[in-house]
Amino acid sequence: MTTLTRQDLNFGQGREAGPAGPGAGASGPAGFLERATGLCPPAVVADVLCEFLEVAVHLILYVREVYPVGIFQKRKKYNVPVQMSCHPELNQYIQDTLHCVKPLLEKNDVEKVVVVILDKEHRPVEKFVFEITQPPLLSISSDSLLSHVEQLLRAFILKISVCDAVLDHNPPGCTFTVLVHTREAATRNMEKIQVIK
């Protein structure tokens, strides 16, 4: 049970990011949402992606021991147990960050979302990259689409959980940050808006 409850109840286009399936891919690029033929609207897709990213960030913080395990609590998401932080400020920070990302997701301006683990000197030690792309159109009914999507998101969570097999231990005193890479067009649009303002 994550803290995210925002839902926008329309279906429209979906989004996808990168290839991923149960057990496939390394602990690096990932992120996807399949696109049913005109079924999922951007708002729903952005919501689902933001929820997933929130869970993923919390799980990364838990697995990579960025924060002590004591602040984490087991919750259920996509029908599997996940670790979520109970610290209010940390939760607020993550939520605010993703809240800002959401409009970009709706407009499909996001190329990738990167969670970077930094050491004490603010040098990046690790990066978890979630690539977001538009997939080809698929003709799947929305019910099976949703269960399929849930299954794939579960696979993500599983992959994050076993990522320490391929990663070294982090030095103590690490912090994290979230970077959002937008596509070029988005940057231009944002610049335009700023110039007008």
The binder of another protein chosen from 29, 42, 54, 83 (CB under 8 A) = 83
Q: Contact, 114 vs 127, CB < 8 A?
A: yes
What the block records as the tokens of 55 is 């869970």
The torsion angle over the Cα atoms of residues 70, 51, 152 and 161, rounded to 10 degrees, is -20
What pairing do the DSSP bridges indicate for beta strands 110-118 and 124-131?
antiparallel
Q: Is residue 106 involved in binding another protein (CB under 8 A)?
A: no
Q: Is residue 150 involved in binding another protein (CB under 8 A)?
A: yes
d(CA 4, CA 21): 24
Q: Is residue 69 involved in binding another protein (CB under 8 A)?
A: yes
Q: Which of residues 38-57 bind another protein (CB under 8 A)?
A: 39, 41, 44, 47-48, 51
Q: Tokens 């984490």 sit at which residue?
A: 72
- Decide: helix, strand or coil at residue 52: helix
Q: Which residue, 73 or 175, has its beta carbon nearer to another protein?
A: 73
Q: Cβ 143 to another protein, closest distance in Å?
A: 6
Residues that bind another protein (CB under 8 A): 1-2, 4-5, 7-12, 22-24, 26, 39, 41, 44, 47-48, 51, 62-63, 69, 74-77, 79-83, 142-143, 146, 150-151, 154-155, 157-158, 161-166
